[in-house]
Amino acid sequence: MAAPTDYDAFLATQLPRQERPLASYRLPGEQVWLKKAGPRHARWRYFGLDVAARALQLPVLRPVPNPGGPEAIRIEARRLRQLAAAGLRVPPVLAVADDGFLMRHLGAPGTVPASLAEEMRDAMPGGAAPVLALWHQGLEALARVHAADQCLSQAFARNFVRCPDGVVGYVDFEDDPAARLPLPVCQARDALCYAHSTALYLHNVGALAAGRAAWADWLAGQSAPVRALVATSVRRMRWMRRLPEDRRWGRDVLRARMAFELMR
C-alpha cells in the first residue's frame, strides 16, 4: 500500500515550479489541482459599477472585488473550508501556502465533471424536459447553500458541477461577498446570477413559462429579506422588458431580457 501523500510537502515543492495559474496533477489514487496566486487586481475598475448600483438603489449590483494575488488565494481557501464545514460539496482543501493552495478534484481521477451550463446546453436537443430537470437541480443546489446560511461568490451555472455521485458541487470562490455585503443581499445576488445564466436555455427550448412558475415557488421558500430584495431588483429592472429579442443584438442582450422574463 502506498504511503499517504504529504500534501504540504507536495505544495511546497511544486508551487515554485508551476508556471500556469492552475494545473492538475495525478497523485496515488487521486487527482489534485494546484492554484497559484496571480497578479493583484486594481480596485478602481469596480468604481463605475459601484456608483451605478448606488444611483439605481440596487444593492445586489454592488461589486465585490476580486483582489487577485495572495489575498485571493487566502479568500478562496477559507471559503472552500467554510462551505465544506457547512456540509456543501466543494473541492476539499488539502494544503495552503501564502501564494497558492492544493485542492482535490471533484470528479473521478482523469475525468472532467461537466458544469451545469454545459449540461443544459447539451440537453437542448432533447427538448424542454431534460433542460428543466437540470435547471431544477441547480435551483435545489442553490437552496441548499442558502439553507446553510451561506452564499456563493458567482452563482452562475458554469460554477455548478455534477459530481460522480450526482450531487451538485460548487467552484470558484476568489471573492467573498459576505465580507462586504449583508447575507440577504448576497443570497439575492445568487438568485439573480443563477437566473441570468440559465434563462436563455429555458427560452431556447420553450420552457420559460414553466420556469417562471417554478422560480416563483423556489423564491417563496427563501427568507423574507431575500424575497424583498429580488422583487425590488426586478421592479427596478423593468426597462429590460424593452430589450430586443433579436439575436443580432448579441447573446448578452438576449440573456438579460430572458432573465427578466423569467423573474417578472
User: Looking at the chain, how many residues does it have?
Assistant: 264
The residue assigned the cell 499517504 is 4
> 187-216: per-residue pLDDT in tens?
999 999 999 999 999 999 999 999 999 999
Query: In angstroms, rounded to a whole number, what is the distance separating the alpha carbons of residues 161 and 154?
Result: 13
Full-prediction pTM beyond 0.85? yes
Give yes or no for a contact between 69 and 40, defined as CB atoms under 8 angstroms apart: yes
Sequence ranges of the domains in the chain: 7-104, 116-263
- Alpha-carbon separation of residue 84 from 4, 157, 248 (angstroms): 22, 20, 43
Over residues 13-50, the pLDDT tens digits come to: 999 999 999 999 999 999 999 999 988 766 655 444 45
E strand segments, the chain:
22-27, 30-36, 93-97, 100-104, 160-162, 168-170
- Please give the CATH number for the structural domain made up of 7-104: 3.30.200
| Cα 52 to Cα 131: distance, rounded to the nearest angstrom | 34
Rounded (10°) CA dihedral 159, 164, 165, 166 = 40
pLDDT tens digits in sequence order for the chain, 264 residues long: 456 789 999 999 999 999 999 999 999 999 999 999 988 766 655 444 454 456 556 677 776 878 889 999 999 999 999 999 999 999 999 999 999 999 999 988 888 889 999 999 999 999 999 999 999 999 999 999 999 999 999 999 999 998 988 899 999 998 999 999 999 999 999 999 999 999 999 999 999 999 999 999 999 999 999 999 999 988 887 766 666 566 655 566 777 778 888 988
Distance CA 135, CA 48 (A): 32
Q: Which of 152, 256, 222, 189 is nearest to 53 (CA)?
A: 189
